[in-house]
Each structure stands twice: as C-alpha cells, then as structure tokens.
Amino acid sequence: MAVKSKKTLLAAAVVLVAGLGAGAYRYWRAAPDASHLTLYGNVDIREVYAAFYDSGRIDHMLAQEGDAVHEGELIATLDQSRFADALATANGQAASQQQILAALLAGSRPEQIAQAKAQMDALEVVYQNDAANYNRYAALAPHGAATIQQRDDAQAAWLNAKQNYQAARQAYILAVKGPRAEDIAAAQAAYDAAKASAALAAQEYDDTKLYAPADGIIEERVQEPGDMTSPSAPVYVIALTNPLWVRAYVPESDLGRVRLGMTASISTDSYPGKTYRGWVGYISPTAEFTPKTVETPDLRAQLVYQLRVYACNAQGQLQLGMPATVSIGLAQPQTAGAARGADACGGANAPAT
C-alpha cells in the first residue's frame, strides 16, 4: 500500500511539473517583445522577360541558366542576313539621293554655262543671216526678181531660226540661274526620306542583337538557336538582383508600430546565424486576409498589411521565394523614411554578419 502511494505521488509530481513547464512555454511564446517586431515572409524580386524587337530565326544564345548578366551585355542574336541586305539597299538609296541633292545645290558648272552661251551665239548668227535673206527676197519679189515661193521659204527659215535662237537664249539664262528652289527642296525631302529609311534599316539590323536590360540572373532559357521568335515571345527570363526585398505581412494591431524607412535585419534558414541589413520601403495602404503561405490557425481570420523590407546587397545568397524572417527594432527615431532607408545599407551596401 505504501509503494502504491509513492507511485501515485510520483505520477502526480510528474504531471504537475509537465503542466508548469507547458504553461511556462505558452507564456514565453505569448509574451510580446516590446522592443522588436518579428515578421515572416518570402524573398521577392522582379523578373524581366527579355525578347527581340523583331521577328526572325535565333542564331546564337550566349547565356545559360544561372549566369549572372550585366546591363547592356549581349545575350542572343538573330540571323542577320536579310537585315544586312536591307541595310545595304537603304544606304545605297540614301547615297544616290545625296548626290542628286549635291548636284542641284552646286548649280550649273562653268562649262555648262559656256556651252549654253556658245550655242545661243551660234543660233543668233543663223537667225540674223536668215532675217537678212528674207528681207532681200521680200524686196525683190514685188519686182519679179524673186519668186513668191523663194520669199516664203526665206521667211520660214527666218522664223525657225528665230525660235531656235530664243530657245537657246532661255537655256543660257537657266544655266546662269541654276536649279529652281522647288527642285532643291524636293531633292532635299527625298534625301531626308532616304536617310530615315537607312536609319530604320540600321536600327532593325541592330535589333537582331538582344542585350540584357539590367543586372540580373538568367532564371530560364525559354528558346534555343534555330527557333523562330517574335517580339511577343520571350527568349530569357531574367531575375533582377536589384531591388530585392522580403514580402512580409504585419497584423493590423502592429501596423502603428511600423514606419517607412525603419531599418530591419533579415535572416533565413539557408544561412543560419547570418543576417542582412534592410529597411521598410513599402507599406500597403489596404488590408487583406493572411495569405495561405504564411497563415496559422490563430492568424487565419486576421487582417494584415503587406510590407516590403528591401535588402542590401546579399551577394546572391537571397533567392526568389526563399522563406525569411524579418526583425524590426521599434525604438528607432522618427527620421525621414527615404533617407533612413538609404542609410540602412551603410554606403557599402554589404550584408551584416
């Protein structure tokens, strides 16, 4: 009987200790930390779907998944043959129009003016001679010394020579004056249009090269050499390394304790003991229900506000979708948000350890 009592007392003691331990644990978990706010979320980044400006067959792909690329780096090319031919044709047409315009602007050459004057002078001599012949035949015909036919032939020759001389004289005047302003303007317009066509062809030729739009990491190589592509078909998916942030959710009850520009520390399970500097750069103005990715039975019905905690240079260690823990110190001065956030990276933009 004594042994049974001892066993009962021992069991009761164990239950009591366990109950006290569980209660202490629940109290410890429920006790709020007035100096820090801890939030949970996931690493988020922006993505770029890089595509060509024109349609064509892909010739070369110069980057692989996981490669780091820099803004302006060549990452793919199209087959350039037809674009090169179009560019050569457009350049030839522009050069031709340029020469036509140059000839009009230069005006008549001295040799052309001299030639026109010589022709005018020669036709003037013929005209004067035919006029004299006609006058003689016109004086002789009434007296029977010349026939009426001879007089009429002389008159016809004189009138024809007169017209030829007048035409040569006008040609000489035009040669001296040079091209009309309207002809020059038309040639200038044609040259400008040809230059624009050449510039467009050059741009289309350059568009056969795909450059990285920003610094980032190649997430996916969507197409391969030999594929036909178009501006609506991405060739690469590039994850931008800057900006990089943790998308977290703050309960409505804690919203008043968070301000834009507050510094924060970010940690992940992937790198235990390592934290990264960050700052609160965005707080959503509208509430939403706790997302399924972070909800717990206690939070399932609570309203939360999304915020973004921007991370300083994480040296490629923070990856898209990685779970992260954010700790925000609440005893921070009331400082301008943008300036306070920029100071979080300490100028060197390096992670804290």
Q: How confident is the model at residue 234 (pLDDT cuts 50, 70, 90)?
A: very high
Of 348 and 194, the one with more pLDDT? 194
Q: How confident is the model at residue 28 (pLDDT cuts 50, 70, 90)?
A: very low
- Cβ pair 234, 49 in contact under 8 A: yes
Torsion sign, CA atoms 310, 311, 316, 322: negative
Of 17 and 162, the one with more pLDDT? 162
At 173 the pLDDT is 82
Question: Residue 118 to residues 54, 109, 146, 172, 328: CA-CA distances in angstroms?
Answer: 59, 14, 34, 9, 98
Distance CA 154, CA 144 (A): 16
Lowest mean pLDDT among 7-11, 199-203, 225-229: 7-11
At 304 the pLDDT is 87
Residue 43 has pLDDT above 70, yes or no: yes
Nearest 10 degrees: Cα torsion 218, 222, 226, 227:
-150
Of 48 and 241, the one with more pLDDT? 48
Distance CA 77, CA 16 (A): 74
Residue 62 has pLDDT above 80, yes or no: yes
* Tens of pLDDT, residues 76-92: 999 999 999 999 999 99
Distance CA 48, CA 312 (A): 21
Distance CA 234, CA 219 (A): 12
**Statement: the pTM of the whole predicted model exceeds 0.75:** no
What residue spans of the chain are helical by DSSP H? 2-30, 81-106, 110-140, 148-177, 181-206, 337-343
At 344 the pLDDT is 59
Of 346 and 236, the one with more pLDDT? 236
Average pLDDT of the segment spanning 317-336? 83
> What ranges make up the beta strands (E) of 191-336?
209-211, 216-221, 228-229, 236-251, 263-267, 275-283, 288-289, 303-311, 323-329
At 346 the pLDDT is 58
* Tens of pLDDT, residues 207-224: 999 999 999 889 999 999
Q: How confident is the model at residue 9 (pLDDT cuts 50, 70, 90)?
A: very low
Tokens of residue 81, six digits = 């043959």
Distance CA 51, CA 231 (A): 6
Residue 19 has pLDDT above 50, yes or no: no
Give the type of residue at 53: Y
* Tens of pLDDT, residues 89-133: 999 999 999 999 998 888 888 888 888 889 988 888 888 898 888
At 2 the pLDDT is 44
Residue 12 has pLDDT above 50, yes or no: no
Fold topology of 48-76+210-236 = OB fold (Dihydrolipoamide Acetyltransferase, E2P) (2.40.50)
- Cβ pair 350, 312 in contact under 8 A: yes
Domain map of the chain by residue range? 1-31, 48-76+210-236, 87-203
> How far does Cα 289 stand from its chain's mean position?
38
Q: How confident is the model at residue 301 (pLDDT cuts 50, 70, 90)?
A: low
213: which DSSP letter?
Answer: S
